[in-house]
Chain A
Amino acid sequence: MSDIVRALEAVIARILEGSGRADPAMRRAAFENTNLTGPTATLVRKVAEQPSRVTDADVAAARNAGLTEDQIFEIVVCAAVGQATRQYHTGLAALEAATGRPDHG
């Protein structure tokens, strides 16, 4: 279990704080699904909340708004990992509440 937590933290640190083509502030906003506007906000929200509803037009709109393919790649990865991480933490917190024991990972 602790191996998983460490591995997961390594992914998050890399995509948010490591070098990339998209601005770190935008990557963090995508991860958190907040503080974005326009087509980027739409794409990120769909990836996080309704991924099967993402369309060609959503990706084209992000491109037309000035994002390169590499930036879109990074933003989508951050949005996906962010939402999955929130769900994972929600699950662990519910388990902790049910067992009355803190999770030491």
Chain B
Amino acid sequence: MRLSILDRGQTIGTRALFAFIRAVSRQPVLDVVKMAAYRPDFYGRLMQAVTHEAMRGPSTWSVGDRELMAAVVSKANECEFCVNAHTATAARAYGDGVKVAAALSNLETAPIEEPLRVTLRMLRTLTREHTVGPDDMRTVLAAGVSRTQIEDALAVCFAFNVVNRLADAFEFFVPEPDAFEAGAKYLLTRGYR
């Protein structure tokens, strides 16, 4: 972590909670959690509400679909921490790690439904190119994705375009897979709040 305040600047109560979590889970506290808990009144609390709404709020996309979107956006941003975190969470949500791995390695041949595929492709373009046009959206709509589903996918994209940037800029430590598995379990039971 490039800023020591994000590692050690939380309140005494929060740091005590982190020590407790480390002891009980035998896993490191993920840097994304430490960041959200640093001056949560400035960023963490309100942004977690956005992310929770996008990832767990009402939507016809499943939780697995939205976690896969998060992983694909993170990959487009080359954010290793977030790719690992949301690959693990999508795999657990779907109960199908092979499908998630396939979607991340080759979106065009992965065994996923066409509406999800074209949506992921659009999110990848928006993330990589920083822009999309009406034609990109017409392609998605033509595959049977509703306007509301596109709006929901854009909200997921927003949340991860924020956190990918922070993970890269602050250089979140990338722990062993076990830590991301523990994180995935947490995200699927408690969400992002």
Contacts and interface: CB of A to CB of B under 8 A. Distances in A.
A55 to B, nearest CB: 9
A79 B166 CA distance: 9
B157 A87 contact: yes
A83 B165 contact: yes
B31 interface: no
B46 interface: yes
Contact of B168 (A52, A74, A77): A52
Contact of A11 (B9, B46, B131): B46
Given A18-B42, A97-B134, A92 B162 contact: no
A83 B161 contact: yes
Chain A interface helix/strand/loop/mixed: helix
Given A7-B53, A8-B50, A74 B3 contact: no
A76 B166 contact: yes
Contacts of B50: 4, 7-8, 11
A52 B78 contact: yes
A83 B126 CA distance: 12
Nearest to A68: B5
Interface string B118-153: 000000001100111111111001000001101110
Contacts of A84: 158-159, 161-162, 165
A94 B132 contact: yes
A80 B163 CA distance: 8
Chain B interface helix/strand/loop/mixed: helix
A23 interface: no
Q: Which of A14, A51, A69 has the most CB of B within 10 A?
A: A51
Contacts of A51: 77, 79, 164-165, 168-169
A10 B45 CA distance: 11
Interface in A13-32: 14-15, 18, 20
Given A51-B77, A84-B158, A87-B126, A15 B42 contact: yes
A4 B14 CA distance: 28
Nearest to A99: B147
B106 interface: no
Nearest to A78: B43
Interface of B: 2-6, 9, 38-39, 41-43, 46-47, 49-50, 53-54, 57, 77-79, 126-127, 130-138, 141, 147-148, 150-152, 154-155, 157-159, 161-166, 168-171
